[in-house]
Amino acid sequence: MTLSSGSADLDLDYRPRLPRGLGVGIGCVGAGFIMADCHLVAYRAAGLNPLAVASRRPERAREVAERHGIGTHYDTYRELLADPRVEVVDVAVPPDLLLEVMREVVRHADHVRGVLAQKPLGVDYRQAREIVEMCEAAGIALAVNQNMRYDQSVRACKTLLARGELGTPVLATIDMRAIPHWMPWQQRLGWVTLRIMSIHHLDTFRFWFGNPRRVFASVRPDPRTARQFAHQDGICLYILEYDDGLRASAWDDVWAGPAREGAADDLGIHWRVEGTEGLARGTIGWPRYPERAPSTLDFTTRGRGAQWIKPRWDEVWFPDAFLGPMAELLVALEEGREPSLSGRDNLATMALVDAAYRSAAEHRAVEVAEILDI
């Protein structure tokens, strides 16, 4: 990390902590973009031990295994789960298939000790709770791949908040103007933004500030995606209300103007946290992927004087931050504790997403407790 102003070691804790032992056998269920181009790239760079891959398309599993120097590939995930060398399972399948896979995972609790499940954790809060309870009953540690918590700027901001450098949070915002690549399974589910992109931002607000009391959400279809399939949650605007007065809001705009239809683009993600003692602002580099564009953080505090402090780093969200959730799960297994991104914790994120859908449908603010009480 380098500093553009100031020379003190800021110790922003923006990198994940690695386990002491790197040899735990990881079995990878799914071989799509997220697994092949993010998870496995990050794991290999850190020296972790992915030892087998399975996919619904055996030829894809073989291709990905060969690309990443993994010695074993299976035609089915059931074969992979039966491999006694697999102690941790990394599951990256569409959310409507996750429950089926997890039911098979818990049958192998004799050798499977942990699972990292892709977000969203199933199709809704009810299904997420079923998955969490299954893993708890089997004694398997479950972590959820809410990897934006390991974006370097998001994590560095969390350090500032935890140290009290920003004082009491007053207002936080995330402004996303980006055009994601949508997955084919979204068409059959009719989802666009809330469960796919907004879930990152909702979870980030929870990571920074804890659980809000209620959410008010307003959505409309994305004109571009609407030409491909019907949906409601294209462009999503929402406000979170906290009991202490904090307000957090995001504008998740996946239309971002007619940039794909001939106009110039203006894409990016900007966030801002205002507190009684300081202000932090940042950018998320992901919209420029595959270009390596590190996220950024600038901050100023009363205690440091009237200056902007601008730490910079070389790491990027895609793919470097994908090491974080797996590393956290492995460290938690070593230490005999629940991972910080546990399935139990993630239920609050899933409930918040469901509350946002209900709010948008019913045109009212929805308390998260309404979903948790289901």
Instruction: Kindly state whether residues 243 and 354 are assigned to the same domain.
Output: yes
Instruction: Kindly state whether residues 82 and 167 are assigned to the same domain.
Output: no
Q: What's the chain's Rg over C-alpha atoms? A: 20
373 pLDDT band, cuts 50/70/90, is confident
Is 297 within 8 Å of 155 (Cβ atoms)? no
- For residue 184, the tally of other CB atoms under 10 A from its CB is 8
Instruction: Kindly state whether residues 84 and 220 are assigned to the same domain.
Output: no
More confident residue, 224 or 9: 224
pLDDT over 50 at 2, yes or no: no
Give domain status of residue 264, yes or no: yes
Could you tell me the two tokens for 299? 């901050």
pLDDT of 4: 43
pTM exceeds 0.85? yes
Q: Which domain holds residue 195?
A: 152-316+348-372
Instruction: Kindly state whether residues 303 and 225 are assigned to the same domain.
Output: yes
Backbone angles phi, psi at 20, to 5 degrees: -70, -40
Query: Domains in the chain: how many in total?
Result: 2
Beta strands 366-367 and 49-54, pairing class = unpaired
Instruction: Kindly state whether residues 53 and 164 are assigned to the same domain.
Output: no
- Residues 225-235 have pLDDT tens digits of 999 999 999 99
Give domain status of residue 84, yes or no: yes
pLDDT of 10: 86
Strands of 192-241 (E only): list them: 214-220, 235-241
Instruction: Kindly state whether residues 202 and 114 are assigned to the same domain.
Output: no
116 pLDDT band, cuts 50/70/90, is very high
**Whole-angstrom Cα distance, residue 211 to residue 167?**
18
pLDDT of 9: 52
Instruction: Kindly state whether residues 176 and 96 are assigned to the same domain.
Output: no
Give per-residue burial for 317-338: e unless 16+ CB within 10 Å, then b. Answer: bbbbbbbbbbbbbbbbbeeeee
Instruction: Kindly state whether residues 128 and 53 are assigned to the same domain.
Output: yes
